[in-house]
Structure 1
Amino acid sequence: MTATLVIAGHGMIGHRLAERLRTLDTARDWHIVICAEEPHPAYDRMALSGYLTGRSRADLTLTGRDFHADPRIELLLAQPIVRADRTTRTVHTSGGHRIRYDALVLATGSRPFVPPVPGRDLTHCFVYRTFEDLDAIRRTARPGSRGIVVGGGLLGLEAAHALSRLGTRTHVVETAPHLMPAQLDPAAAEVLQAQAHAHGLRLHCGTAVTQVHARPDGSVGAVTLGNGTTLEADLVVFAAGIRPRDELAGLLGLARGERGGFLVDSYCRTADPRVWAIGECAAVQGRCHGLVAPGYAMAESVAAQLVGRDADPFSRTDDATALKLLGVHVATFGTTNHPQDPRGTVEVTFSEGTARYAKIFLQPDTGTLLGGILAGDTRSRSRLTSLVGHPPPADLEELLLP
């Protein structure tokens, strides 16, 4: 008899689970019901800036005709789960659907974090998350207008680059002393910041927006920073991080991680054997992962479990990134955030001013490669990734800075 899987959320991770299960479920044992919050099928959120600068929604959509035509798939758009009962194994959507499940996978993703500053709800204050958010930004941004991006991490720099391409005079405000503090050290960030200045971005690091001021019509007119600076503004984009969407934990009586997210084990299982959580909303052994690659690994594991295959536990310690921002390639590989270890780590750096920079981390007793940071030239990343856990080659400097 066919069993019912309910997937709460149809972002990139929820869609990966559905696609993987379609492939693995050769016996066609599962009927998949997807309860999506947005009115669109899953799309490539990693490429969302392209939508702001010319790509269409269809260009970014992840679903194809075969997905929509598959009789095993039931996609409920703009119908998030609003009620749930683990005793009866039922969920209710905002559109009135009542669905009984045999397995429930929570893939609700995350929501943008908006700092609690006065004025954050004014007209022309935005977040950077959905098609609708970017439509609103595009209607407001004009060549010569003044934009403030709150957040100098990955998402904030994506937003700043997109605004600058729309002709906006853009300021980036980051509370840390330098850009991308979660991925880069100060020297690597200096390479990125030099190029950001060259692209016309105005950077304000080591401070925060403390107030957004209104014009007489109620729209954004200026912001004040913690260092006392006041900047005129026509729009503000909050891109200061994300928080897991774990509201269903209360409805389902499930535990949360210390910093939020559905608490799950290394197989993404909650305390209920019929309920899993994957992606940004999952606190795997207490830790949430905000990148897409860990979420895909979680989806692969759960899909295997649902068809009775041996599944690998999720044990990701490598939050590697590789991207091009403002014309500069930056990347990390292996492990770059090292816990307290009495042995410490050996750090080796190579630099060419603000043009190129590389740092690698070595284990002190064995000399094996643990990870590293690259800025300005990342061509060697794939080979370096393959060397993690092994001694680096003799031609290391040539490899890092070809």
Structure 2
Amino acid sequence: MAGHRLVEEMLAHDRHGQWRLVVLAEEPRAAYDRVALSRLLDGATPGDLALAGPDVLGDRRLELYLGTTVTGVDRRARTVTCGEGTGFGYDALVLATGSRPFVPPVPGRDLPGCFVYRTVEDVAAIRAAAVPGRDAVVVGGGLLGLEAANGLRLLGMRPHVVEIAPWLMAQQADEGGGRVLAEAIERLGVGVHCSTALHAVGAGADGRAQRAELADGTVLDAPLVVFAAGVRPRDELAAPLGLDRGERGGFLVDQWCRTADEHIRAIGECAAVAGRCHGLAAPGFRMAETVARQLLRVPADAFAGADTSARLKLLGIEVAGFGDAHARSQGAIEYVRDDRRAGTYAKVVLAADGRTVLGGVLAGDTRAYPVLRALTGRQLTASLEELPAAAPGGT
């Protein structure tokens, strides 16, 4: 998706045809909306997710090679070699290799019936293996895991979500918000198992996945296991390129997305900007825009980091987190309204002065999100009790 945004930016603003764009894509299809994968389990087709339209694919300045894996780069000669033995020269090389799914090293993870949740082909395989009326296990209680659980539910299965953190959506929500989310999805028939991990996948007599054994001793009879426990940057080319990696992986780049080689840049999930990778689409888009403007020699802003604020609807339940949602700032004050009867939760984090909004969490009702997010970093002009938007439903 980051690579596609770079192509769009270059085609839109390279009015004098300075650049010829060669895209080497390992997947067998042009760019698509990976964030919307779960729609494929609810009737959408791969074409519905496509990002690259005829205006892009038909542009004479673009050469797109699908099913093409890059195996090596010669920095001195400025050439790229592919698995088929073909080669390409470059004036600028942009690495947009994305991420690969993280699969915990548990026994049985490679059994038939175990899947990752990353590509159109992954989702097609899950759909083909789904057994309506049976249990399924999703490893990972973040955004991707809950999307996968909803997809399995739509296929008629009874999903169980296994999350090692104490609550769901631990990056975006706090304990109260995670509790509201868990209670709501449990009412939909989704099992929630937090503070535990997958210990092993057991096989049946046919050699396929049959049960999921959890670290807390729970055993779930499940013929289908989906790993959606996060991603790792695809930076395999770093070593042969002689490029540095970030501490947690990814091609190490500066705030302009430049590696130590002036001709090579990295964007998206594979880029460790000042040492940090960003596993979201929006930061990747901003990196692509920054690089495109540099290549076109027009004024550009450095990548200044990612806004992790998010407003989501997961299995029909609204959740939002913004700013310092976990109240990690020194002296932070937490203002909480927890309505157990209504199934709503709202937390606003204030600075030590009791007036400056630092962040917050909303669950069950997120109508307050636009107002509260706009107030982040600013001082309140009224008490929170006087702000109707600060309380779900205006209560």
TM-score (norm: length of structure 1): 0.93
Q: 3-state DSSP class of the match of 2:359?
A: strand
The answer for the alignment partner of 1:3 in structure 2 is none
- Aligned counterpart, 1:381: 369
Following superposition, the deviation at residue 139 of structure 1 comes to 0.8
Counterpart Cα distance in 2 of 1:399 and 1:154: 25
Is 1:104 equivalent to 2:93 in the alignment? yes
Greater CA drift, 367-376 or 240-249: 367-376
Q: Which 4+ residue blocks in structure 1 deviate beyond 6 angstroms?
A: none
Distance 1:56 1:26 in 2: 34
Contact kept in structure 2, 1:317 and 1:335, CA below 8 Å: no
Q: Which runs of 5+ in 2 are unaligned?
A: none
Conservation of the 8 A alpha-carbon contact between 1:151 and 1:172: yes
Q: Which amino acid aligns with 2:266?
A: A
- Once the two structures are superposed, residues 259-281 of structure 1 have per-residue CA deviations (whole angstroms, 9 ceiling, x without a partner) of 00011111111111111111111
- Counterpart of 2:120, as a letter, is F
Q: Give the deviation of 1:303 after TM superposition.
A: 0.9
Aligned partners of 2:257 and 2:190: how far apart in 1? 41
* Equivalent residue, structure 2, for 1:346: 333
Match of 1:368 among 356, 361, 366: 356
Please show how residues 216-255 of structure 1 align to structure 2 within 5 Å: 216-255=205-244
Query: Separation in 2 of the partners of 1:27 and 1:191?
Result: 54
Q: CA deviation at 1:338?
A: 6.1
The answer on whether the counterparts of 2:162 and 2:197 sit within 8 Å (CA) in structure 1 is yes
Residue in 2 that maps onto 1:8 = none
Aligned equivalents of 1:50, 1:97: Cα separation in 2: 36
Find the partner of 1:141 among 130, 135, 152: 130
Q: In the alignment, what sits opposite 1:4?
A: none
The structure 1 residue matched to 2:112, chosen from 123, 126, 133, is 123
Which residue pairs with 2:388 in the alignment? 398
Q: Secondary structure at the match of 2:294?
A: helix
In structure 2, distance between residues paired with 1:312 and 1:102: 22
SS of the aligned residue for 2:362 comes to: strand
Which whole-Å CA distance do the structure 1 matches of 2:201 and 2:253 have between them? 39
- Deviation of 1:320 after TM superposition, in Å, equals 1.4
Cα offset for 1:88?
Answer: 0.9
In structure 1, give the amino acid aligned to 2:378: H
State whether structure 2 residue 21 is matched by structure 1 residue 29.
no
Identity fraction in percent: 53
CA shift at 1:395, angstroms?
Answer: 6.1
Is the partner of 1:137 in helix, strand or coil? helix
Q: Tell me which amino acid in the other structure corresponds to 2:361.
A: I
What stretches of structure 1 of length at least 5 have no aligned partner? 1-11
Partner-residue secondary structure (3-state), 1:30: coil
Kindly provide the amino acid, as one letter, of the partner of residue 9 in structure 2: R
Q: Deviation per CA, 1:300-331: give whole Å up to 9, x if none.
A: 11111111122111122521122101111111
Contact 2:79–2:90 (8 Å) recurs in 1 = yes
Query: Given the alignment, which residue of 56, 65, 85 partners 1:67?
Result: 56
Q: How does 1:316-327 map to 2 (within 5 A)?
A: 316-327=305-316
Maintained 8 Å contact 1:127/1:133? yes
Amino acid at match of 1:348: Y
Alignment of 1:139-288 (within 5 A): 139-288=128-277
Gap change, CA 1:40 and 1:393, over 3 Å in 2: farther
Aligned to 2:103: 114
Q: CA deviation at 1:144?
A: 0.6
Alpha-carbon distance in 1 for matches of 2:117, 2:99: 12
Letter in structure 1 aligned against 2:65: L
- Following the alignment from structure 2 to structure 1, what is the Cα–Cα distance between the partners of residues 220 and 349? 40
Distance (Å, rounded) in 1 between the aligned partners of 2:344 and 2:138: 26
| CA distances 1:354-383 after superposition (whole Å, capped 9, x unpaired) | 621121222224832222211111123223
Q: From the superposition, tell whether residues 338 and 100 of structure 1 become closer, same or farther in structure 2 (CA, over 3 Å).
A: farther
- Corresponding residue for residue 32 of structure 2: 43
Greater mean alpha carbon deviation, residues 354-363 or residues 88-97: 354-363
Deviation readout 1:131-180 (Å, 9 max, x if unpaired): 11111111111211221111111111100111011110111111111111
Q: Secondary structure at the match of 2:38?
A: helix
Aligned residues between the structures: 389
Check conservation: 1:319, 1:335, Cα contact below 8 A: no
Amino acid at match of 2:191: R
Taking only aligned residues, the RMSD between alpha carbons, in angstroms, comes to: 1.5
**What SS class does the counterpart of residue 349 from structure 2 fall into?**
strand
Matching residue's letter, 2:303: F
Matches of 2:22 and 2:354 in 1, distance apart? 50
- 2:327 touches 2:349 (CA, 8 Å); kept in 1? no
Q: CA 1:184–1:200 in structure 2 vs 1: closer, same or farther (change >3 Å)?
A: same
TM-score normalised according to structure 2 size: 0.95
CA distance in 2, matches of 1:162, 1:183: 21
Task: For 2:327 and 2:389, locate their aligned partners in 1 and report how far apart those are by CA, in whole Å.
Answer: 23
Return the alpha-carbon distance in structure 2 between the equivalents of residues 382 and 270 of structure 1: 37
- Is the 2:113–2:208 contact (alpha carbons within 8 Å) kept by the matching residues of 1? yes
